């Protein structure tokens, strides 16, 4: 009896996933084909608060800053978890 229930559950899950996949494809392609995209030179220009741009906006940014930011986030969260563990240990001991 359990095997029949599991097989029915698997069939339901597969039908759901197939329908979800088909619906997502239909929505994706409908939005792609029905969307209007009109390009003009004004929309492709760089906008800097109404002023003419001073230089190229596509400058290279040093990866060092991103690494420092990610390390800061990791250690900041680690300190938060350590403080929580210490508070729980002090509470229960």
Structure confidence by residue, pLDDT tens digits, 50-71: 666 666 666 777 788 889 989 9
Please state, in angstroms and rounded to a whole number, the distance separating the CA atoms of residues 55 and 43: 18
- pLDDT value for 43: 64
CB 73 within 8 A of CB 80: no
Domain that holds residue 59: 2-92
pLDDT, tens digit, for every residue of 12-33?
889 999 999 999 999 999 988 8
pLDDT of residue 86: 92
pLDDT of the residue at 57: 62
Q: Do residues 53 and 46 lie in contact, with contact meaning Cβ atoms separated by under 8 Å?
A: yes
Task: Please name the residues in contact with 57: beta carbons below 8 A apart, sequence gap of 6 or more.
Answer: 46, 48
Q: How far apart are CA 18 and CA 51, in angstroms?
A: 51
> Is pLDDT at 77 greater than 80 in this prediction?
yes
According to the model, what pLDDT value does residue 91 have?
87
Report the percent of the chain where pLDDT is more than 90.
Answer: 30
pLDDT attached to residue 38: 67
Q: Based on the structure, what is the number of domains in the chain?
A: 1
């Amino acid at each position: 009896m359990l095997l029949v229930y599991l097989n029915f559950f698997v069939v339901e899950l597969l039908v759901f996933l197939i329908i979800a996949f088909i619906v997502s494809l239909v929505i994706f392609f409908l939005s792609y084909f029905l969307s209007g995209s009109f390009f003009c030179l004004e929309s492709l220009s760089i906008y800097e608060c109404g002023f003419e741009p001073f230089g190229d906006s596509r400058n290279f940014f040093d990866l060092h800053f991103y690494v420092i930011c990610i390390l800061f986030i990791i250690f900041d969260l680690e300190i938060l978890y350590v403080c929580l563990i210490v508070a729980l240990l002090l509470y229960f001991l």
